[in-house]
Chain A
Amino acid sequence: MKLDKLVKELTLEVKTCRECLQKDITGAYVSDLLSDVMANSRDGNIWITLQTHMNIVAVAGLKNLAGILIVGGRRPEDEIIRKAEEEKVAIMTTPMPAFEAAGRIYQMLQ
């Protein structure tokens, strides 16, 4: 499934890298611990988190993740948006809490 479909279905707000929406999603990983994401996420996963600081961009880039979904209505600062745009990392936001976002994505991926 393309990231694009997820964005439309869940009405996610796309903050960075619109061209990344053509990427295929291999699954999702939910965690707010960055080392856990580095250890256990897989290539092409969408990462569901409430972290919004700079290091999420590097983690997503290093792990070849399909994108970052920031939940709970949190918003990344401009500096992070610039960095993500530069590194071609898609960041999306939603007011949904992690549980709900993960549940809906899980259903869509079945």
Chain B
Amino acid sequence: MLWQIGMALNLDESIEQSFQLIGGNFNNAGESSSQLKRILSKLGADESIITRAAVAMFEAEMNVIIYAAAGWVRFTITPQLVKIRVEDMGPGIENIELAMKEGYSTAPDWVREMGWGAGMGLPNMKKNSDEFKIESVVGEGTTIEMVIHFP
């Protein structure tokens, strides 16, 4: 049966996919976010929501690739929302408040030369999601969870 309430997606079961990320592997960056974008487009989600979700996920992916040894990303799509969860085995963040400040970055020069590490990643993730949670343990890793609701 076809039904739609507001902008909720017509979806019988939630869709879940996860991807492994290897630190330093810049060439494959964006694969999971492109996949999320493709699925949301196919489901007819609102364009601005698709872009927000894809950008938030791509930024999260990049942080794992830039800073961590490895990690994984997972997205879950339900009729009401997209949830993105990213976990890494990285150095962790000492001062989350500082890391959330636009322009603050600990990226090395060679990463900055690529146009990353401008201190915009975490703020971009927060801006593009409706709910944003970050937890980090120095020496162990960082976990980020983002939720974007369909209007």
Q: Of all chain A residues, which has the CB nearest B121? A: A35
Stretch at the interface among A7-15, A51-59, A97-105: A51-59
Cβ B37 vs Cβ A62 within 8 A: yes
Closest Cβ of chain B to A22, distance in Å, is: 20
State the CA gap A62–B73 with chains docked (Å). 17
**Contact A58 to B51, CB < 8 A, known contacts A32-B115, A35-B121:** no
Q: What is the CA–CA distance of A87 and B33 in the complex, to the nearest angstrom?
A: 13
Majority secondary structure of chain B interface residues (helix, strand, loop or mixed): helix
Cα(A87)–Cα(B143), bound, Å: 30
Using A54-B27, A79-B27 as known contacts, say yes or no to A38 and B55 having CB atoms under 8 A apart: yes
Indicate if A63 sits at the interface (CB-CB under 8 A).
yes
Which A residues lie at the B interface, using CB under 8 A?
31-36, 38-39, 43, 49, 51, 53-55, 57-59, 61-64, 79, 87
User: Could you list 9 A-B pairs, sorted by A, with CB under 8 Å?
Assistant: A36-B118, A38-B58, A49-B115, A53-B26, A55-B116, A58-B34, A62-B54, A64-B47, A79-B27
Q: Contacts A31-B115, A39-B124, A55-B26 given; 16 further ones with Cβ under 8 A? A: A33-B118, A34-B115, A35-B59, A35-B116, A35-B124, A38-B58, A39-B55, A39-B120, A51-B115, A55-B62, A58-B33, A59-B58, A62-B33, A63-B55, A79-B27, A87-B34
